[in-house]
Amino acid sequence: MSAPLLRVDGLSTLIRGDGAPVRAVDGVSFEIAAGEVYALVGESGCGKSMTALSIMRLLPDAASIAGGAVELEGENLLALPEVRMRDVRGRRVAMIFQEPGLSLNPVMTVGAQIAEAVLCHGDMERAVVDAKVLELLEAVRMPDARRRMAEYPFQMSGGMKQRVMIAIALACDPDLLIADEPTTALDVTVQAQVLELLRELQRSRNMAMLLITHDLGVVAQMAQRVAVMYAGEIIESAAVGAFFSGAAHPYSRKLFESLPDRAGRGRALAAIRGAVPPLNRKFEGCRFVERCDHALPRCAGVVPQWSAVDGRHQVKCHLYEQDRPDIETAVAIDVASPLPAAAPAPGEVLLQVKGLKVHFPIHSGFLRRISGHVMAVDGVSLEIAAGRTLGLVGESGCGKTTVGKGLLRLVEPTSGEVKFGGEDFLALSRAALRGQRRHVQIIFQDPYASLNPRVRIGDALEEGMIALHAGGDPGARQARIDALLAEVGLAADVKTRYPHEFSGGQRQRIDIARALSVEPQLIVCDEPTSALDVSVQAQILNLLKRLQRDKGLAYLFISHNMSVIEYMADEVAVMYLGRVVERGAVDEVLRAPRHPYTQALLSAVPVADPGATRPVIQLAGDLPSPVKPPQGCHFHPRCSAALPRCSSEYPDEHRFSAAHTSRCHLYD
């Protein structure tokens, strides 16, 4: 076997603070061959990104490498002086960071930022640099690359900014590319484009890649080998095929069981209880023991060593140790299926929306005259029955969140009807609307941004009750707050703490408790799990399902995660550029989509199966501007099945069943 391109041996990284040091990376070892894609998966806080930063020697001031070796073709990078390490970064090892919007300089054009990366590793004439920048932007398939060179990051979509980051990383043809969650914040269509781009570039340049992600579907599509990281150490390593056909560690199996899908819609997800343990403590045994369904007496006091499962498939788990006589029985144990959760019975129509429009004026000139409108929502109609969930899906920028805010008049609609219980919200005065708002609440996408960092959790929960005259006297309100926290799985004493003292999943639970505090009948859930790991996501989805079953709640569930929509929704509406293009029962729309846009969305969803060969429908270009949407069908510039009339006439609604409709000229 040839020597590996990258060899990491016993890497340990400490973060020092007021108390005991945090062992963010604790004895990590792995190898990556030339041209190989190696995936590192696990929950947030397990040390994946810190491993990448340690390899690049880009650690924050409080962190330092405590031991181990990082060898690139036999040369230990940890022993190099900083001057020589600068030659390695970019030229031999490059990195794509998790958030392109924060990684790009907002006051430099993207062309200048790519040129900076090119010039860092060699002097060139200006014309040669410009030609190289253009070549890189064309290599990452940037639309209208020459014009984009002169644009700033704020003028670009998320997918475009990620392409710029990839172009910067490829500027010096590195041997190894580290991609840290390269598609986390992207829609499924843009994610599919970026993954295909990375796959093509990696193969054409025979470039090795360390792919850091918590999306098992991305791992199945991209990687040859995979390692599972938990609490600072790697606990399982295998070829992708072996891992997906038979994950060995109880933690790995739990990650798979936490994935929402169509088959699990009638039951609760197998969420992993608890959270990743703090890494500033000394571990006496297995680090997963407190959350494991198969823990043995020895797991709490004896650190597990590597055991071979099959060939190069290895796992750190006492269940697989060869000296145990009950090994066969132990491995055969599996997690019992959760008890089924009763599906909500359909009730009367609770919310009825007709022709909702939200147009934002564009002011220009010295006198700030209105020169146009952003047509964010342009005639949306939908219905939600009591106890039911309507999923609203589509790319970022299509108007999903604006629909949710427009229903509550958090943004003022331009026209239309929003009837709740027969009363039109849009016709109510501000004073009358305040009294009705207790019936419709919202869970925001970013729970940290929606909570006041200076307000304790108990006060944040009580604030809504006071404003909407709910919950009774102060004593009754405090009792209700305790009950709400218990309902969402938090202890009553957390109400004296501040938002920064909680994890992302805990903050989302607090946001749900706040929405429930005024006893609503309908909750708008705006991407409530988009920033969460699959394990925490499973806990939140189970919670929302249970609350719906127990309280008869209706949900408008906004998401671009099709697996979550499959699991949560009863009906689905697909939005494109401010309009609903297809809607119907979840099985009708997701199993037999009629609109070409819906078909493209579903084809782009990564599947957690390395053997899946489903073709991805690549959409041309990016989402058009809602300031000047295309004539006729808004989707026709990107549609491979467009007819001549699509560019001039907006299609009528075609009905395929009592619930399933679509707007497409293919069915005229």
* 3-state SS record for 113-149: HHHHHHHCCCCCCHHHHHHHHHHHHHHCCCCCHHHHC
Q: Determine, yes or no, domain membership for 261.
A: yes
What is the domain extent for residue 308?
A: 252-332
pLDDT at 595: 97
The token pair at 650 is 């907006």
Indicate if the pLDDT at residue 295 is higher than 60.
Answer: yes
User: One-letter amino acid identity for 544?
Assistant: L
Q: Determine, yes or no, domain membership for 479.
A: no
pTM recorded for the entire structure: 0.85
The token pair at 577 is 């550029």
Q: What are 615-632's pLDDT values in tens digits? A: 888 887 777 888 889 999
* Model confidence band, residue 185 (pLDDT cutoffs 50, 70, 90): low
Mean pLDDT, residues 536-552 taken together: 90
Indicate if the pLDDT at residue 326 is higher than 90.
Answer: no
Q: Determine, yes or no, domain membership for 32.
A: no
**What integer best gives the mean pLDDT of the chain?**
88
Q: What are 587-612's pLDDT values in tens digits? A: 999 999 999 999 999 998 888 888 87
Q: Determine, yes or no, domain membership for 563.
A: no
* CA-CA-CA-CA torsion sign (144, 150, 151, 157): positive
Indicate if the pLDDT at residue 264 is higher than 90.
Answer: no
Mean pLDDT, residues 468-477 taken together: 88
pLDDT at 513: 92
Mean pLDDT, residues 190-213 taken together: 88
Q: What are 647-666's pLDDT values in tens digits? A: 999 999 999 999 999 999 99
Highest mean pLDDT among 282-291, 447-456, 622-631: 282-291
Report the percent of the chain where pLDDT is more than 90: 57
Q: What are 115-142's pLDDT values in tens digits? A: 998 887 667 788 899 999 999 998 887 8
Q: Determine, yes or no, domain membership for 216.
A: no
Indicate if the pLDDT at residue 335 is higher than 80.
Answer: no
In whole angstroms, what separates CA 586 from the centre of its chain? Answer: 21
Measured distance CA(277)–CA(46) in Å, rounded: 9
Total count of domains within the chain: 1
pLDDT at 614: 74
Mean pLDDT, residues 520-526 taken together: 94
Measured distance CA(448)–CA(456) in Å, rounded: 13
DSSP state of 391: E
Q: Determine, yes or no, domain membership for 382.
A: no
Indicate if the pLDDT at residue 97 is higher than 80.
Answer: yes
Q: Determine, yes or no, domain membership for 160.
A: no
Long-range CB contacts (within 8 A, 24+) of 223-226? 223/37, 223/38, 223/39, 224/36, 224/37, 224/38, 225/36, 225/37, 225/38, 225/39, 226/38, 226/39, 226/40, 226/41
Q: Determine, yes or no, domain membership for 317.
A: yes
Indicate if the pLDDT at residue 8 is higher than 90.
Answer: yes
Helix (H, G, I), strand (E, B) or coil at 234: strand
- Which residues have CB under 8 Å from 532's CB, separation 6+? 504, 505, 508, 540
The token pair at 31 is 């190898």
How far the first Cα of the chain sits from its last, in Å, is 61
**Overall residue count recorded for the chain in this entry:** 668
pLDDT at 539: 86
Mean pLDDT, residues 466-480 taken together: 89
Highest mean pLDDT among 100-104, 429-433, 435-439, 574-578: 574-578
Distances (CA, A) of 575 to 382, 388, 398, 426, 579: 11, 19, 6, 22, 5
